[in-house]
Chains A and B, each alone.
Chain A
C-alpha cells in the first residue's frame, strides 16, 4: 500500500491508504484558495514539464488537468491524439518514448485499455505517471475529487474546515452508487476512496451492469434502487457507457431509466440533506432527470470545479512532493 503519493505515481486508488488519500484532500484544500484569487497561479512546479496524453476522447478531465498544471506554473505538453502518430500505428511504448525524449517530469494519460498507465510507468520509470483513466480499471483523480467534494459539502454544513476533519466526516457516511458499475472506472476508484475513508457503500444497478464477482467487492449490493433511496446520504450516478457496449446489457434505455434513473419522483424521496453526484458527462433523461441534475442537491458543477485543485494537489505531491519533504 502507498502511504503517501509524494514522489509516487498515481495509478490506482486501490493501493492508497486512508492517510495517502487524506493528504491529497488536505493539499487540495490549500489550492482551492489559489483558484479564487485574481492571479490564479503559484510557482510550485515552475520549470517542470507535464505531458498530457489522452489516447481516448476527453474534454473535462483533460482541461482540468491542463488547467491544474498551468496554475502550478508547469509547462504543459499536450498531445492531441487525433493528430498524433498513434493514428499512424505507433505503439504506446514509442509514443511515450518520443514524448519522454522531449524531457518531461510527469505524464498525465488516459487510455482505453485497463492497465495502460501501469504499463507506461514501466516504460518510463523516471517519469511520474498520473492515471487520467484506464479502460474499465481506475480513474483515481475522479475518485479523489469526488471524495473531496463530499468532504467539502459536509464540512461547510457543519461550519468546520475540511483540513481539520481528516476522514472523520466519512465515518458511517452512506454512499449509494447507481448505474453502470460494471463498465465504470469511476466506480472502481470512488469505491476504493470511500471505503478507505470509512464510508459505507452500496451499489444499485441492473444485475447485468454489476461487475462479475461484485460480492467480493467491499460494498453491499442493492437489488431495488427505490428501497435504497431513503438510506443514502450521497447518491452518485454513473453514465451509462454506451460506447463500451453497455447498451446491450439492458433491454432498452427506457427500461434502464424506469428502473435505475434518478427521476424527480425518486429524488423527492431522498433525505433532505442528501447530496447528488455525477462524474459527467451526463446523459440527461437517461440516468438522471434534467430537473434533478439542476436541483440544489446536485453538486455536479462543484465536482468539476474541484477537479482543478485536486489535480493540482496530485501533480504537486507526485512531482515535487518528495523534494519538499527532503528540504524540510
Chain B
C-alpha cells in the first residue's frame, strides 16, 4: 500500500515543517512539499495535524497468557494502534510469567499476527518470585532487550545486584518497579493526610524513593544499567535525573495517569483510581509535568493495565491495581505538555524517540523481527508513523474502547487532541480515528 500524507506538520528532531510524506511498500520514500504520488496512492489530507514517528510504549500489560478475559495480545494491539502506537513492549507479569524463551516466543508469535511490532520484556527472576535469576541470556538471544519483574520490584538487594551484574554484558537493560513492598505495607493509595482520613492504608512516597535510591547505588556498584518504571514522586525523578547527570546508565519513565490525576480522586473510593505506585499529591503531578517539559523524563509509558470487572469492581483495598492507558495516553501527554504546537517536539521525544532508544527499537538497533521505530520522518526510514490531531476534543467512553477491559479512570472526561491515523510497517491501521 502506498500512502501520502498531505500538508501535515511533520515533526522531526529539532524542527517541524508543513510538508508531504510518501510511504511506499513499508518505507518512507520522500518527504517534500507537493509530492507527485504514484497512481493508486492512498491520499490523506492531514492539514493541521502533527506527523511524527509512531509511538512506542515501554509498558503494556497484555495479559496473555493467563488473563485473556482482561486483554489479549490482539486486543491490546488494537488499543495500541488506536492510541497511535506502532510498537509496544508486553510486560511479563502474565500467568505464567514470561521467564523462558518458550513463553516469550508465544507472545512474540501472537504479536506477529498483529499489525504492530509487539516486543516482550522478560522476567528478571523465575516466576517473578524474586528468588532465582531467569535465563536472561537465552531470552536476549530471541530479541528481549528489557527485563523486569514489574507488578512488584525485585525486593532482595543481593539478587538485584546479581541481576545487574549478569545482565551487563548481554546488552540488555533491567527495568525496576521501584517500590519497597514492606514499606508499602499492602497499602492501596498514597500515604498522606487523605489516606489517614479515609482509613485506607497508605503506600508512602518513601517506599518508591528508597527503592530508587537503593537501585541507583546498585547500578553504581555494578556498572549496570537500569530503567525506572512509572516514577510517581517529585523526589524519585529528581534522584534519577541527578544520577544520570553523574554518569550512571539510568533512564526513567512516567505514566500518563501520574501526570494528570492526583490522590484526591481516591476520596471517591472508586477502585478505577487504584494503581501502583499510587496517584500522588498535586505537588507531585506538577513536579512530574515540569520534569516532562524540561526533558528530564526519558519516556512516558502507559502502564496499560487491563482488569476484568470481577478483579476491579471490588472494595478499594481488595481491588486490583492498575488502569487502562494505551488509548488515551497521547491526549493526556498533549494536555500535560500544555496542549500547544510548541510541545510537538517533546511529545514525540517522550512518546516515541525516548522509549525507542530504551527498548532498542530504532532502525540501527534492529536485529530480529522488528522494524525501526522512533526515528526521523525521513526517506529511508521504516514507515512507522502517527498522525495526531491537536485540534479536536473527544469524550472517553469506556464502552467504545478497543481494549477488552473497561477500567479507565477517565470515563466521561473530555480530552484534547486525538490520534487520527496510525501507519504501522507501512500499513494504514488506523484512519480517521478508527481501525481499518
A residues neighboring B (CB under 8 Å): 14, 91-93, 111-116, 118-119, 122, 134-138, 185, 188, 211-214, 216-217
Contacts and interface: CB of A to CB of B under 8 A. Distances in A.
B275 to A, nearest CB: 16
Given A91-B313, A115-B269, A118-B269, A137 B198 contact: yes
B269 A213 contact: no
B196 A217 contact: yes
A114 B314 contact: no
B197 A115 contact: no
Contacts of B202: 212
Given A112-B315, A212-B192, 5 more contacts: A14-B197, A92-B315, A211-B196, A216-B196, A217-B196
Contacts of A113: 315-318
Interface string B196-210: 111111100000000
Interface residues of B, number: 22
B199 A137 contact: yes
Q: Counting chain B CB atoms within 10 Å of each CB, which of A93, A113, A185, A188 scores highest?
A: A113
Interface in B85-124: none
Contacts of B197: 14, 188, 217
B191 interface: yes
Nearest to A212: B196
Contacts of B313: 91, 93
A214 B195 CA distance: 11
B376 to A, nearest CB: 49
A212 B204 CA distance: 10
B247 interface: no
Nearest 3 pairs between A and B by C-beta? A115-B269, A113-B315, A136-B199
5 contacts: A112-B315, A118-B269, A119-B271, A136-B201, A137-B200
B72 to A, nearest CB: 24
A29 to B, nearest CB: 30
B310 interface: yes
A91 B198 contact: no
A216 B193 CA distance: 7
B317 A213 contact: no
B274 to A, nearest CB: 11
B89 to A, nearest CB: 33
Interface in B47-94: none
A319 B311 CA distance: 33
A111 B315 contact: yes
